Structure 1
Amino acid sequence: MKFAYRFSNLLGTVYRCGNLNFTCDGNSLISPVGNRVTVFDLKNNKSNTLPLATRYNVKCVGLSPDGRLAIIVDEGGDALLVSLVCRSVLHHFHFKGSVHSVSFSPDGRKFVVTKGNIAQMYHAPGRKREFNAFVLDKTYFGPYDETTCIDWTDDARCFAVGSKDMSTWVFGAERWDNLIYYALGGHKDAIVACFFESSSLDLYTLSQDGALCVWQCDTPPEGLRLKAPTGWRAEVLQGAEAEEEGDEGGEEETTVRGKAAPAAEEQQGKVKYSRLAKYFFNKEGDFNKLTAAAYHKTTHLLVTGFASGVFHLHELPEFNLIHSLSVSDQRIASIAINGSGDWVAFGCSGLGQLLVWEWQSESYVLKQQGHFNSMVALAYSPDGQYLATGSDDGKVKVWNTLSGFCFITFTEHSSGVTGVTFTATGYVIVTSSMDGTVRAFDLHRYRNFRTFTSPRPTQFSCVAVDCSGEVVSAGAQDSFEVFIWSMQTGRLLDVLSGHEGPISGLCFNPVKSVLASASWDRTVRLWDMADSWRTTETLGLTSDALAVTFRPDGAELAVATLNSQITFWDPENAVQTGSIEGRHDLKTGRKELDKITAKHSAKGKAFTTVCYSADGQSVLAGGMSKFVCIYHVKEQILMKKFEISCNLSLDAMEEFLNRRKMTEFGNLALIDQDAGVEDGVAVPLPGVKKGDMSSRHFKPEIRVTSLCFSPTGRCWAAATTEGLLIYSLDTQMLFDPFELDTGVTPVRIRAALRQQDYTRAILMAFRLNERKLLQEALESVPWDEVEVVSSSLPELYVEKVLEFLASSFEVSCHLEFYLIWTQKLLLAHGQKLKARAGKVLPAVQFLQKSIQRHLDDVSRLCDWNRYNIQYALAVSKQRGLKRPSEQPGSDDEADASDDDTLHLLGTQHGDGDGDGHLA
């Protein structure tokens, strides 16, 4: 139960590829992130990743009209039917081919899938009691090349399919007599999108070369006639009608259908389309191709995105340009409009950008961008509220763990970031980089206030800050030295030399003034700060040291080495206390171009990052593998192994090679098949190719670059190839009793509460360990008796009460009541808790995190109210100083000042940075 960590959220990546979808209420955005799907709640300022994953990267997502179901299809053609209400997978299905797009009908009864050059219509799951959730209804043929887009009419009678063969096909969802299919031409490039007009069969088609064709249909949707059944279907239908309606009604109906209906049908012809107009967007050469489009039928708003990052807003059918804007320098891969037509979402796969634009006020609702290079370092703040990440792209991002959004990005580094750490206060981030600088960033003013450099240029590979926050150290990769600076003055204090290889890791002892430095020279050196930075001990290793960390109480040291071992040392006596062999637990996958099996390739792999848990009893290790392992330090055994990804779109994931990829000419993985596909470049003849010859496609290798346990002990984070994965304790479906016996039942707990025996009721509730009973027992205690009850609690239960109070602060509105509980508990048991500081520290930090969050929110609100009151007083005072005789227009000016005051009081502040979530 202690290691019941489950995947909780995915940060660091907001969009990869695929299509964006707004929920039916328009307040949330669904974005594909690799082989997962993230839901961004724009109203409540939160992001959450669904606890499911596909085998390959997500290609397209289809959302039902009621917003309850979603069909997620990956690049391999595997589909997941997902319930967005209970956030679980309902059904698995394989479409036996690469699917380009999925779209539900507006009535929710059917959905269409475009695959290859065909379109398949399925019955929507959940409408009928069916054995199979995906029942194929019809298959539509017509296009000669791959299909690209789908759109339905409002009444779900017809749908249109665009293709790369420059044609658009209109199909009937039913067996219409006057419309079976209709092909539309008129374009000179592949169709990007097609849209029906509201309550009409009129159609808009857009092609990749920036052309828009307006098509008018001569038949309204009501003019579509069902085709009369023939053969055995007609006999069965007539027999059923005769039984239901009786003989007389049946004869009349037969007469009407048999004679009058065909006469009316002969007067009407087939459905015909005619092109009314053809418009062209402003082009800037061949490279600026139209890549994505979306149309809002109610407001007649057309949004188009281009390969240069520019998007246009037009009003149809007049094609009036509303405005144009550049949101990125990369191609816009997907566009979505919410139900009200106010917000437009853009996804740029090149840099992993996700933007939500409110076009009427011309402001950003959401502006997020993940690291577009591999994430290499991360660190938790001391209270666990923030996560700082550093990447090879030179950026340092700070993430809010509660909302999942990045609220500030620091771009001062000119090269890759190699190390990130927080100071003890939690308001300063110190980073090291390959550009030869160590920088300190202030989270109050969001600026770089210190830059530490070495006398001669060097590349820093790691960074550490002592527990006081006054001493900063960084290890050099090329000069094999450790540099020490003062945070206050920014001056270089000392240069520690002695290592004979690159410095791979630094860590300060949390309790004593000792610095541990690990190096590739197979040693770990301990430097004493109090004794002129002299080496106190040198720990000899059997292989190169890759990572080093102290236990939270400073009494133990863990070192990861190149031979896949984790060794534990007593830093006081320089004695090795244990070791763990992790080679068999790494289980690295086989790359596509490897010549040896995965079993033998694991011999060269090792753990590259190690961290202790909050209580110091276990250690977390990860490296060039898809697995993260938790080991028990004292027993030196593997407790649990987490598979961080099952995405086969990444390299080094499979254990065996696929023999189908091996040909007589070599491995198919050597062929760069995806070069130029994004620009729509076709290869008509062998050896003939146009486009960007430098564009290449590669599969990133799965690896874990950094691990960090939250100070609260409730979750841990892993910086991986897929992004920043958060694993937290799943307490929702967890039954974890404590010293339970047959006499502890909910009935007896409530009976003790009625008898006002609060202490006994609380003790029994904690032994049963059900959250609702715990909440009921604690909230039944009168506030004036909290002090007596808290002082009578045994010492063993105080830590559990503190953990429950910390978790209750995040969801409960009874802040004052729980604050009284916290104060009385700490006053009554403070001395006893100090004796067990190591074990109680995670619970206290969890409590501090919850209280600090409320403090920040309330203080921000109080500051804003104080500013408003001061402004209102200043305005009224200024008006009182003006005399009406001197100011003939004073009444009008007073009204204007009142309007200004009210307008200012009604405004809200947004984040000043360019990478945050705007209110």
Structure 2
Amino acid sequence: MNTQTVQTEKHQNRYNLLQQLQTGRKKKKLSNSITADQKLGYVKDEENKPVDDTVDSFLSHDHDNVDNTSTPFTNLRSRSNRSNKSEHKGFTFEEVSCLHSCKSKVLSCHFSSDGKLLASAGHEKKVVLIWNMETLDFVRTAEGHSLLITDVRFRPSSTIFATSSFDKTVQLWDSAKPSKSLFKLVGHAEQVLSLDFHPRKTDLLCSCDSNNEMRLWNINQRSCVHVSKSATKQVRFQPRPGKLIATASGNVVNGHNKEVLSICWDPSGKYFASISEDSARMWSVSGGECLHELRSTGNKFQSCTFHPGYSQLLVIGGYQCLELWNPVESNKTWTVEAHRGLISSLADCLQTEMVASASHDQCVKIWK
């Protein structure tokens, strides 16, 4: 392994131990009903039809029955120290590994569906690093992009992943053969800032650019099937049914005074969260309204993800610290010291119940 990426024996032993643990936790849900306002950038076409009606040959309309048994999670107190660990009555949130391999800011990260791979990308050399989560070794892709990479997402249940870039393109890759990209999708006129695969119809990929344009692509045909003015900063498909797309564009979400920087869905696809520099808000899909709001007390929020083991627990990335927020129980957060720079991206894995954080400090950290 490259000497820059050698992990300490302490981290490796801790990681191996945690890999063997069977937590047996049941997933939680947000149980409070939500009250009211606007939808979070639900994408519609020019005739005001939902996107899933416009490209219904690609989108699925059936739903899973989701087991969301609630589990109490109260009075969690944070203990930030050298071990970067937060713990209370059986719940722990601890750094298990630090992945350092580059000399530039890391802007995005994402787990494969089985949790065996983690992709990270950003400024350095326009490449993606593919981490093996069992050995913590990595391989580099070729320099497929000419400018920095803004987002990376794995295709569900696949080794295929996609990248978006300031060079106005989207590229598809196979992590099993990373030496060359599979193909390039061209059509955006501005910097492509985000992308995501549909959870069911995995031949469908959406991407958005800095000119507020969102494109839906059929990657099998390598063609664009729909264009709308819907998203700038980020785009994410609803998990499971995939009938909706949440988008971040300016402060379009009512209640945010500043630009929405990050959005995420809970595992059931019934709730989502939106993050701006000064606040976090949690929303209901059924009511389209805000349930909870958290105001920042100084830490500038940047990224978010729902905890994969406790789906009512939101993990928020800010400057150097992670903040854990359970809005059902409290309007306070529990802070964990995490990085030496802005935490630009968060990812979660349902299979391993791990969270990854990517930062401008050139590191990706794994938490469990």
Query: Structures share a fold, TM > 0.5?
Result: yes
CA shift at 1:722, angstroms? 4.4
Matching of residues 750-899 of structure 1 within 5 Å? none
Matching of residues 569-718 of structure 1 within 5 Å? 569-584=283-298, 586=299, 606-614=300-308, 615-623=310-318, 625-638=319-332, 640-645=334-339, 702-718=341-357
1:15 and 2:15 matched:
no
Aligned CA RMSD, in angstroms, stands at: 2.8
Query: Structure 1 residues 377 and 516, CA, compared in 2 at 3 Å: closer, same or farther?
Result: same
Query: Structure 1 residues 402 and 568, CA, compared in 2 at 3 Å: closer, same or farther?
Result: same
Matched residue, 1:505: 234
Q: How many angstroms apart in 1 are the aligned matches of 2:274 and 2:175?
A: 31
Q: How many angstroms apart in 1 are the aligned matches of 2:213 and 2:353?
A: 37
CA shift at 1:567, angstroms? 0.6
Query: Structure 1 residues 725 and 492, CA, compared in 2 at 3 Å: closer, same or farther?
Result: same
Residue by residue over 1:670-699, the C-alpha shift from the partner in whole angstroms, topping out at 9 and shown as x without a partner, is xxxxxxxxxxxxxxxxxxxxxxxxxxxxxx
Matching of residues 158-557 of structure 1 within 5 Å? 370-393=101-124, 394-446=126-178, 447-454=180-187, 457-468=189-200, 469-477=202-210, 479-498=211-230, 503-512=232-241, 513-520=243-250, 522-524=251-253, 541-557=256-272
**SS of residue in 2 equivalent to 1:448:** coil
For 1:387, the aligned partner's letter is: L
> Is the Cα–Cα contact under 8 Å of residues 130 and 175 in structure 2 kept in the other structure?
no
**SS of residue in 2 equivalent to 1:626:** strand
Q: How many angstroms apart in 2 are the aligned matches of 1:457 and 1:561?
A: 26
> Is the Cα–Cα contact under 8 Å of residues 276 and 301 in structure 2 kept in the other structure?
yes
Q: How many angstroms apart in 2 are the aligned matches of 1:608 and 1:386?
A: 24
> Is the Cα–Cα contact under 8 Å of residues 439 and 450 in structure 1 kept in the other structure?
yes
CA shift at 1:465, angstroms? 1.1
For 1:724, the aligned partner's letter is: V
Query: Structure 1 residues 439 and 39, CA, compared in 2 at 3 Å: closer, same or farther?
Result: same
Residue by residue over 1:834-853, the C-alpha shift from the partner in whole angstroms, topping out at 9 and shown as x without a partner, is xxxxxxxxxxxxxxxxxxxx
CA shift at 1:514, angstroms? 0.9
> Is the Cα–Cα contact under 8 Å of residues 580 and 636 in structure 1 kept in the other structure?
no
Q: How many angstroms apart in 1 are the aligned matches of 2:323 and 2:137?
A: 27
CA shift at 1:708, angstroms? 1.4
> Is the Cα–Cα contact under 8 Å of residues 708 and 716 in structure 1 kept in the other structure?
yes
Count residues in correspondence: 281
Identity of matched residues, %: 17
CA shift at 1:414, angstroms? 1.2
> Is the Cα–Cα contact under 8 Å of residues 719 and 725 in structure 1 kept in the other structure?
yes
Structure with greater contact order relative to length (CA < 8 Å, sep ≥ 6): 2
CA shift at 1:418, angstroms? 0.3
> Is the Cα–Cα contact under 8 Å of residues 613 and 713 in structure 1 kept in the other structure?
no
Identify unmatched segments of 5+ residues in structure 2.
16-81, 84-98
Q: How many angstroms apart in 2 are the aligned matches of 1:509 and 1:498?
A: 15
Query: Structure 1 residues 464 and 542, CA, compared in 2 at 3 Å: closer, same or farther?
Result: same
> Is the Cα–Cα contact under 8 Å of residues 274 and 282 in structure 2 kept in the other structure?
yes
> Is the Cα–Cα contact under 8 Å of residues 159 and 176 in structure 2 kept in the other structure?
yes
Question: TM-score, normalization: structure 1?
Answer: 0.29
Q: How many angstroms apart in 2 are the aligned matches of 1:713 and 1:636?
A: 27
For 1:38, the aligned partner's letter is: T
Q: How many angstroms apart in 2 are the aligned matches of 1:509 and 1:493?
A: 19
> Is the Cα–Cα contact under 8 Å of residues 316 and 323 in structure 2 kept in the other structure?
yes
> Is the Cα–Cα contact under 8 Å of residues 611 and 620 in structure 1 kept in the other structure?
yes
Matched residue, 1:881: none
CA shift at 1:445, angstroms? 3.7
> Is the Cα–Cα contact under 8 Å of residues 256 and 279 in structure 2 kept in the other structure?
no
Query: Structure 1 residues 639 and 712, CA, compared in 2 at 3 Å: closer, same or farther?
Result: farther
Q: How many angstroms apart in 2 are the aligned matches of 1:370 and 1:382?
A: 23
Residue by residue over 1:757-799, the C-alpha shift from the partner in whole angstroms, topping out at 9 and shown as x without a partner, is xxxxxxxxxxxxxxxxxxxxxxxxxxxxxxxxxxxxxxxxxxx
CA shift at 1:452, angstroms? 1.1
Query: Structure 1 residues 471 and 642, CA, compared in 2 at 3 Å: closer, same or farther?
Result: same
Matched residue, 2:363: 723
**SS of residue in 1 equivalent to 2:4:** coil
> Is the Cα–Cα contact under 8 Å of residues 115 and 352 in structure 2 kept in the other structure?
no
CA shift at 1:633, angstroms? 3.5
Query: Structure 1 residues 377 and 49, CA, compared in 2 at 3 Å: closer, same or farther?
Result: farther
Query: Structure 1 residues 639 and 497, CA, compared in 2 at 3 Å: closer, same or farther?
Result: closer
Question: TM-score, normalization: structure 2?
Answer: 0.70
Matched residue, 1:883: none
Query: Structure 1 residues 570 and 14, CA, compared in 2 at 3 Å: closer, same or farther?
Result: farther
For 2:186, the aligned partner's letter is: T
> Is the Cα–Cα contact under 8 Å of residues 371 and 391 in structure 1 kept in the other structure?
no
Matched residue, 1:565: 279
**SS of residue in 2 equivalent to 1:15:** helix
Q: How many angstroms apart in 1 are the aligned matches of 2:183 and 2:161?
A: 10
For 1:708, the aligned partner's letter is: A
Query: Structure 1 residues 640 and 389, CA, compared in 2 at 3 Å: closer, same or farther?
Result: same
Residue by residue over 1:799-834, the C-alpha shift from the partner in whole angstroms, topping out at 9 and shown as x without a partner, is xxxxxxxxxxxxxxxxxxxxxxxxxxxxxxxxxxxx
Query: Structure 1 residues 493 and 370, CA, compared in 2 at 3 Å: closer, same or farther?
Result: same
Q: How many angstroms apart in 1 are the aligned matches of 2:214 and 2:355?
A: 29
Q: How many angstroms apart in 2 are the aligned matches of 1:498 and 1:431?
A: 20
For 2:168, the aligned partner's letter is: G
For 1:473, the aligned partner's letter is: C
Q: How many angstroms apart in 2 are the aligned matches of 1:713 and 1:639?
A: 24
Query: Structure 1 residues 639 and 14, CA, compared in 2 at 3 Å: closer, same or farther?
Result: farther
For 1:622, the aligned partner's letter is: G
**SS of residue in 1 equivalent to 2:216:** strand
> Is the Cα–Cα contact under 8 Å of residues 317 and 343 in structure 2 kept in the other structure?
yes
CA shift at 1:549, angstroms? 1.1
CA shift at 1:583, angstroms? 2.4
For 1:515, the aligned partner's letter is: I
CA shift at 1:457, angstroms? 3.0
If you compute each CA radius of gyration, which structure gives the higher value, 1 or 2?
1
> Is the Cα–Cα contact under 8 Å of residues 710 and 716 in structure 1 kept in the other structure?
yes
Residue by residue over 1:20-76, the C-alpha shift from the partner in whole angstroms, topping out at 9 and shown as x without a partner, is xxxxxxxxxxx6xxxxx7359xxxxxx83999xxxxxxxxxxxxxxxxxxxxxxxxx
Matched residue, 2:59: none
Query: Structure 1 residues 714 and 517, CA, compared in 2 at 3 Å: closer, same or farther?
Result: closer
